[in-house]
Structure 1
Amino acid sequence: MPIVLGIATHHFEIGLALCFGAFWCSPSDVSGKLMHKQVGILFSAILVVIISFIGGYLNISNYVLFPILGILTFGIAFISIYGFRASLISFSGLLALILSFAHTSENLEVYQYALLIGIGGLWYLLLSTLWFKLNPKAQTEEELNKIFLLTADFLDTRRQLIGEQPDRDSLQTQLMTLQSELTEHHGTLREILILSRKSSGKSNYQSRRLLVFIQLIEILETAVANPVNYDKMDELFEKHPEFKTDFQKLISEFSNQLRAIAENINKSKLFPPNKVLSDAFKELENDILIFKKEDHTEDYERYLMLQNLLDYQKKQFEKIKKIKWLLGRPKLVSDDYIKNDKLKRFIDSQDYNPKLILRNFSFRSTIFKHSLRLAVAVMLGYGVGLTFDFQNPYWIILTVIVIMRPSYGLTKTRSKDRIIGTLIGAAIASSLVFSINDPYIYGALGVLSLVVAFSMIQKNYKASATFITLSVIFIYAILQPDVLTVIQFRVIDTLIGATISYMAMRWLWPAWSFMEIGDNITDCLKANTAFFKSISSYYQKKGQVPTSLKVNRKEAFLQTSNLSSAFQRMAQEPASKQNHIDDIYELVGINHSFLSSLASLSTYIQNHETSEASEDFIAISEKINSNLDKVCEQLKRINFETSTHNDTTFTPEPFNFPINRMTNDAISRTDSVRSHKEAHLIWEQLYWLYSLSEKMLKLTAKFKEE
């Protein structure tokens, strides 16, 4: 709009400056509370005004320019220590700095140009706020839709794990990735629903969506829960394949129903009926009943296992039915609302203390090393552009700031995708430029390509890079007749920028994952320990489910996802930097199994009436906690930078694990099946948790200590 008005009023430079301001402030406009979006865009506007003002006076001697360019790049990138939104504000500042080399105004003074950039940012802020007011539900619906679909994918992957699988490790990796994505979207939607509710008071719409969100979180917890270990499940399903088929059919229907709900989220009449699920349950219950009637005493434990597995699926069915009811727009009563004082405990507030700058001003900080690395890469890129007298040397450093990330794996992937995307875009643009010679068509294609590029930047960076290249070339085709030269330099500059980014990431203060993986494992283990202690305490005390248990559950899922992401980054790094990767992968897998077992216990005790905790339960819980505390102590002393192992052999402390009396052959079939199911599940999980804690002790004892 500013450009169109600028052309119409013969003030094109003013329109272009306003356009740049809006463009540079747009990255911080991400999902979240409205006030956070507004503050983010406002800070972006202030930053780009300052940077544009400074950039206007950078037409100075190269001897002075290079250190100033490096210091500015470092300072802007260092803003990222204040979290995700701050990193987007930082990116806006870097864009403004780099593109200040591209724009030289003939009719505007530097201060005028900088102020117009700021006004453009405020113009974008106004539009963003207006759009939010016109459609306040948009971001909630978008995030909720993504969570529905990811949860459906998670259930579907979980379904494939039933029964013996040749590629179980691959499926487990898929589950870890999906769980990490879900945790990220849970955090975003949690902020939107809880913080907006606190600021706007009780809203029937927000409260219904919050309750739907809670059901989706509990569906994930129940899906993660595994009432038995896989070896026992494989053995059972091998002998009785009808159960494998029945359970897979049931879970597949859960997944399909979640996708159908996501597709028709505001059309409850189009939701799939519950009858399909009811029929699947009847078929499964009949098969289990036939199995129970068979006169094989040794199969009673398997019957209990099937009953517990069936109970978990029934809970999933109840949650899906409740989601359908909530999306049918019922009128909520006061008991349905959740108090704000409980909700705020689920939100982690960002620390904006200035002391954070000093704490991160060290080579132990990943952001510090990234900022320093980026500053050197930008100076080097600009130096190469000037030395070889390229047409647009700022394209090299623009490529550097777009590609370079704190993570080696992501930088390497983006470098490759950027090069491939640029080459494809250049090839397409070349063929179109030869066949079309109309500036209006160039303009239309340039705008269309830019819109497509931004819409794909998070989903497919390679395709996004292709359309960005098309957009840039079409816009230059309007301004310069020799467009083939533009294409040539665009490709060369991208290749140089990508090469510099990769080399800097590889050899300049690299932040290899093995340097931090110990902290990630410790954080995950501490979160799982806190979750286990909450479960154990609730099982002993009974009563209403404490909020602390749910908060600890959220933290355990978050830290487990963080650990998975950290390991995935490590797996993308050079083999020489993957110290102890097999042992670390086993630790990651054990922590996931530990969380799965905790989810089983948590789901069961929250949804069933349980008996009094025995002395054996308390003794085993204390032993597991003791093991976990020892693992944490060992992790503090481990030096992950060395690739050698400890020579000493780990000897576990003697512990006589109590026998599970509820699976003894002498058990009477006339006793309460409910109490048998409880004892079987609790004992199975306690033994599994104890075994996993012992495994972690043995694994961590293999590492060299500092």
Structure 2
Amino acid sequence: GHVADLRGVGRLEAQLTALKAEIDALPKLPSESHLVLRKILVNLRRLAGRLGELEQFFDAETIPERKSRLDHGLFVSHQPIDPKIFWSNLTLGSVVFRHSLRVAFACVFGYLLTRLINYGEHSYWVLLTIAFILKPAFSLTRERNVQRIIGTLGGGLFGVAVLYLVPGKEVQFGIMVLCMLGTYSFLRINYLAMVCFTTPFMLILFSFLGMPFLELAQERVFDTVLGCAIAFGTSVLLLPSWEADQLAGHLKGLLRANGSYLDLIISALEGRKVSQLSYKLARKELYVQTANFSASFQRMLNEPRNLQRSKKHLHPFIVLQHILFSNMATLATDLLRREPRVHAPVLVHSAQKALRTLQSSLSRLHAEKEEGSKEGAPAAEQAPAAEDSLMKEQLDYINQVCVDMDKALRNLGL
């Protein structure tokens, strides 16, 4: 029954074409704009296209054509085993090398300190805390510090309460098993929950081995606080890595991904066929670069205020990036859904103008200006066809967003 309903997609396309003609026939007043109606029409066309895809999916005649699939291995990042990668990181400019030095120094310092203090029989807890807490980014280290201390104190109180208030060994053993399951269940999901389950699990386990649990809980808290203090101090004082210093690299990757995505749109406007594989790879790269830049900005906000850079200018830039991506994705989806054809030169020129703006922004972050692949000569301004008028408005809006991003980038001072 549902498949039969989808047979009306062709009639829906005809109705949408008639609706577009009615919108084009509306009088153009200076105080009114039909851009909202045109955007609604674009969304309706996208819905009609998806319904058409569903109709083809359930059509028995097209099932053999769906056997070909994209090479999903291209969407996964691969790290080759190359000695050059190791040697290239043996420099203080490498974030990985600096983090390795911090971890090594913190562990050696923690080991020597536990030998001098000689407190308790489980001083290795200090080293385990340092290894788990210390992260390449300061904000992640601080977050893990807070979670580790809260989880240890909360779990320690729960474990002591169980050992004091629950007399039966069988019930204590059942609680210990549940805590063990919670520890390994949340190991890679929620660090705070994992620590809350680990502490009572260890206390109950060691109490079964005949150790005094109250002294054990005190030692556990002391070792945790000591390890957190060493890790936090090392992340601040020894070769710290601040997110503000990494913003330029994330910006370069983001602008390159924007340019590659817009380059595909230009190819489609010029009548060249764009494969689904190249389009999805460019879209995936833009997703990744946008997420990396946004995550870096959020981590910077958790760092000391005196080290945060251009915070009031970065937030508008991120908002503009999301606006740009959504508009380019809408335009690209509409272009790839249609048969390839050469569009009006004014449309190509508008897209090339936006691309040149992105390349200009990227060149500002480089010592040398990068060479553009699609600049070309400016096209003669001429009115586009009626069916391309909405696309011209979208491209002009994309170009304006690129200009606004370039202005925001100038204010960043990177």
Q: TM-score range by the shorter chain?
A: 0.7 to 0.9
Partner of 1:531: 261
User: Shift of the alpha carbon at 1:425?
Assistant: 0.7
User: Shift of the alpha carbon at 1:401?
Assistant: 1.0
User: Shift of the alpha carbon at 1:502?
Assistant: 1.5
- SS where residue 349 of structure 1 aligns? coil
Partner of 2:239: 509
Partner of 1:374: 103
> Deviation per CA, 1:52-94, whole angstroms, max 9, x where unpaired?
xxxxxxxxxxxxxxxxxxxxxxxxxxxxxxxxxxxxxxxxxxx
Q: In 2 relative to 1, CA 297–390 (structure 1 residues): closer, same or farther, beyond 3 Å?
A: same
User: Shift of the alpha carbon at 1:530?
Assistant: 0.9
**Paired letter, 2:311:** I
Question: 1:573 pairs with 303, 311, 315, which one?
Answer: 303
Q: Distance in 2 between matches of 1:700 and 1:314?
A: 39
Q: In 2 relative to 1, CA 323–554 (structure 1 residues): closer, same or farther, beyond 3 Å?
A: farther
**Paired letter, 1:378:** C
Partner of 1:468: 198
Q: Is the 8 A contact 2:267 2:274 kept in 1?
A: no
Question: 2:45 pairs with 303, 311, 316, which one?
Answer: 311
Q: Is the 8 A contact 1:610 1:678 kept in 2?
A: no
Partner of 1:646: none
Q: Is the 8 A contact 1:381 1:397 kept in 2?
A: yes
Q: Distance in 1 between matches of 2:43 and 2:223?
A: 58
Q: Is the 8 A contact 1:442 1:477 kept in 2?
A: no
Q: Distance in 1 between matches of 2:231 and 2:388?
A: 57
Question: 2:403 pairs with 664, 673, 694, which one?
Answer: 694
Q: Distance in 1 between matches of 2:35 and 2:411?
A: 36
Partner of 2:146: 416
> Deviation per CA, 1:518-566, whole angstroms, max 9, x where unpaired?
0101011101101111121122124463532222222122211111122
Partner of 1:253: none
**Paired letter, 2:393:** E
- SS where residue 270 of structure 2 aligns? helix
Aligned counterparts, 1:240-255, within 5 A: none
Q: Distance in 2 between matches of 1:633 and 1:522?
A: 9
Q: Is the 8 A contact 1:525 1:591 kept in 2?
A: no
RMSD: 3.4
Q: Is the 8 A contact 2:139 2:302 kept in 1?
A: yes
Q: Any stretches of 5+ residues in structure 1 without a counterpart?
A: 1-270, 639-654, 663-674
Q: Is the 8 A contact 1:369 1:509 kept in 2?
A: yes
Aligned counterparts, 1:173-252, within 5 A: none
Q: Distance in 2 between matches of 1:440 and 1:335?
A: 61
Q: Distance in 1 between matches of 2:130 and 2:159?
A: 23
Does residue 393 of structure 1 match 2:393? no
Aligned counterparts, 1:557-568, within 5 A: 557-568=287-298
Partner of 2:394: 685
Question: 1:591 pairs with 304, 321, 324, which one?
Answer: 321
Range moving further from structure 2, 484-493 or 431-440: 431-440
Q: Is the 8 A contact 1:439 1:477 kept in 2?
A: no
Q: Distance in 2 between matches of 1:323 and 1:350?
A: 39
> Deviation per CA, 1:326-380, whole angstroms, max 9, x where unpaired?
9xxx99944212256x544333321221111111111111111111111111122
Q: Is the 8 A contact 1:404 1:501 kept in 2?
A: yes
Q: Is the 8 A contact 1:400 1:500 kept in 2?
A: yes
Q: Distance in 1 between matches of 2:379 and 2:61?
A: 51
Q: Distance in 2 between matches of 1:323 and 1:407?
A: 49
**Paired letter, 1:603:** T
Q: Is the 8 A contact 1:307 1:677 kept in 2?
A: no
Aligned counterparts, 1:54-453, within 5 A: 297-298=28-29, 300-315=34-49, 321=54, 333-338=63-68, 342-391=71-120, 392-453=122-183
Q: Is the 8 A contact 2:349 2:378 kept in 1?
A: no
Q: In 2 relative to 1, CA 441–580 (structure 1 residues): closer, same or farther, beyond 3 Å?
A: same
- SS where residue 585 of structure 1 aligns? helix
When the two structures are superposed, what TM-score results if normalisation uses the length of structure 2? 0.83
When the two structures are superposed, what TM-score results if normalisation uses the length of structure 1? 0.50
User: Shift of the alpha carbon at 1:612?
Assistant: 2.9
**Paired letter, 1:379:** V
**Paired letter, 2:251:** I
**Paired letter, 1:528:** N
Partner of 1:187: none
**Paired letter, 2:43:** L
Partner of 1:552: 282
Q: In 2 relative to 1, CA 303–695 (structure 1 residues): closer, same or farther, beyond 3 Å?
A: closer
Q: Is the 8 A contact 2:265 2:332 kept in 1?
A: yes
Q: In 2 relative to 1, CA 466–345 (structure 1 residues): closer, same or farther, beyond 3 Å?
A: closer
Partner of 2:224: 494
Partner of 1:64: none
User: Shift of the alpha carbon at 1:605?
Assistant: 0.6
- Name the count of aligned residue pairs: 389
Q: Is the 8 A contact 2:203 2:216 kept in 1?
A: yes
Q: Is the 8 A contact 1:304 1:677 kept in 2?
A: no
Q: Distance in 2 between matches of 1:301 and 1:439?
A: 73
Q: In 2 relative to 1, CA 323–441 (structure 1 residues): closer, same or farther, beyond 3 Å?
A: farther
User: Shift of the alpha carbon at 1:295?
Assistant: 6.8
User: Shift of the alpha carbon at 1:422?
Assistant: 0.9
Q: Is the 8 A contact 1:526 1:632 kept in 2?
A: yes
Q: Is the 8 A contact 2:266 2:352 kept in 1?
A: no
Q: Is the 8 A contact 1:304 1:676 kept in 2?
A: no
**Paired letter, 1:383:** L
Q: In 2 relative to 1, CA 461–317 (structure 1 residues): closer, same or farther, beyond 3 Å?
A: farther
Does residue 479 of structure 1 match 2:213? no
Q: In 2 relative to 1, CA 452–292 (structure 1 residues): closer, same or farther, beyond 3 Å?
A: same
User: Shift of the alpha carbon at 1:661?
Assistant: 4.7
Q: Is the 8 A contact 2:351 2:395 kept in 1?
A: yes
Q: Is the 8 A contact 1:308 1:677 kept in 2?
A: no
Question: 1:627 pairs with 357, 362, 365, which one?
Answer: 357
**Paired letter, 1:406:** P
Identity %: 22
> Deviation per CA, 1:176-205, whole angstroms, max 9, x where unpaired?
xxxxxxxxxxxxxxxxxxxxxxxxxxxxxx
